[in-house]
Amino acid sequence: MNRIPQHVAVIMDGNGRWAKEKGQERLFGHAMGVESVREALTAASEIKVKYLTLYAFSTENWNRPKEEVDGLMDLLVQTISNEIESLNKNEVRLMSIGDANALPDRCRAELKSAIEKTKENKGTTLILALNYSSKSEIKTAIKQIAQRYKDGEISLDEITDDLVSSHLYTAGIPDPELMIRTSGEIRISNFLLWQLAYSELHFTTKFWPDFKKEDFYQAIYEYQHRERRFGKVSEQLQS
Ligand code: IPE
Ligand code: IPE
Ligand code: MG
């Protein structure tokens, strides 16, 4: 318990393949994935992980068949409205990262209302990455910083790591110490490229709907047994 990450990020992957294996539609996999979201959130809350970021929809996911995109948006609206009571009961604060403006109106409204209703909660912060692209996030930050430089507001020397971080969606949130991806894919898929610079990565072949509380704890346990050297050598860390 004395080495709990403050921030865990998850690429929830494999819903479609999970459903297909069961002879079901992909959307059934997404619906069943919601239970795994509950499991991960409960697990994170229990051990007092301060921030849990879940990759729910990437900017690239708009390229999926319309039926699936519409289904995912409906599921999002439904889930947020169903869960709001339980989020409040468990002191969970909801936030989102990504371009929420491009989400359908009904999603944006539901999301905004849930963020508002949970903003005073003091427990785990659940961050949903929705219509998220890390490259876009970084590109926007570069534009904003360039503008500030041009306006004479900042000098080149003032462009530090912290300044860059403060221009990202995740401003004020510590970088994830641990990133988990399910489904056996070993890639980042445009997720938190800056923020994951020194994160420990955990890949599991389980599909997201099969990912349960124990799996979350397993990932934390493995994380706790990694040596994070940050460029140093092992002996320096012992002393
Ligand atoms: C992850 O599962 C959920 C989203 C991307 C919305 P997938 O839908 O990517 O499932 P697979 O990877 O095709 O099995
Ligand atoms: C990444 O999963 C996005 C989310 C989990 C929301 P994808 O299934 O879209 O990623 P790729 O396309 O396999 O890399
Ligand atoms: Mg996938």
From the CA of 214, how far away is ligand 1's center (Å)?
Answer: 21
User: Given the structure tokens 């300044």, which residue do they identify?
Assistant: 163
The model's pLDDT over 126-136, given as tens digits with 9 standing for 90+, comes to 999 999 999 99
Per-residue pLDDT band for 156 (boundaries 50, 70, 90) equals very high
- Do the domain assignments include residue 215? yes
Is ligand 1 within 6 A of the CB of residue 64? no
| Total count of domains within the chain | 1
> Which residues are catalytic, by number?
13, 61
* CB of 14 shorter than 6 A to ligand 1: yes
Euclidean distance between the first and the last CA atom of the chain, given in angstroms as a whole number: 22
Q: Give residue 19's pLDDT.
A: 98
Instruction: Tell whether the model's pLDDT for residue 202 goes beyond 90.
Output: yes
223-239 per-position pLDDT tens digit: 999 999 999 999 999 88
Please tell me the distance between residue 56's alpha carbon and the centre of ligand 2 in angstroms: 9
- pLDDT tens-digit map of 31-45: 999 999 999 999 999
For 38, the domain range is: 7-133+174-228
Q: How confident is the model at residue 61 (pLDDT cuts 50, 70, 90)?
A: very high
- Distance, C-alpha 106 to centroid of its chain: 21
Whether residue 147 lies inside any domain: the answer is: no
Report the CATH number that the domain containing residue 45 is assigned in CATH. Answer: 3.40.1180.10
By the CB criterion, residues less than 5 angstroms from ion ligand 3 are 13
- Tell me if 150 is assigned to some domain: no
Closest CA to 180 of 138, 215, 152: 215
The predicted structure's pLDDT at residue 239: 80
**Model's pTM, two decimal places?**
0.98
Domain assignment of residue 144, yes or no: no
Report if residue 37 sits inside a domain.
yes
Tell me how far the alpha carbon of residue 149 lies from the centroid of ligand 2, in angstroms: 35
Q: Is position 146 within any domain?
A: no
Instruction: Supply the DSSP string of the chain, one letter for each residue.
Output: -TT--SEEEEE---HHHHHHHTT--HHHHHHHHHHHHHHHHHHHHHTT-SEEEEEEEEGGGGGS-HHHHHHHHHHHHHHHHHHHHHHHHTTPEEEEES-GGGS-HHHHHHHHHHHHHHTT--SPEEEEEEEE-HHHHHHHHHHHHHHHHHTTSS-GGG--HHHHHHTSTTTTSPPPSEEEE-TT--S-TTS-TTTTTT-EEEE--S-GGG--HHHHHHHHHHHHTS---TTS-HHHHH-
Q: Does residue 212 register a pLDDT over 90?
A: yes
Residue 143 located in a structural domain: no
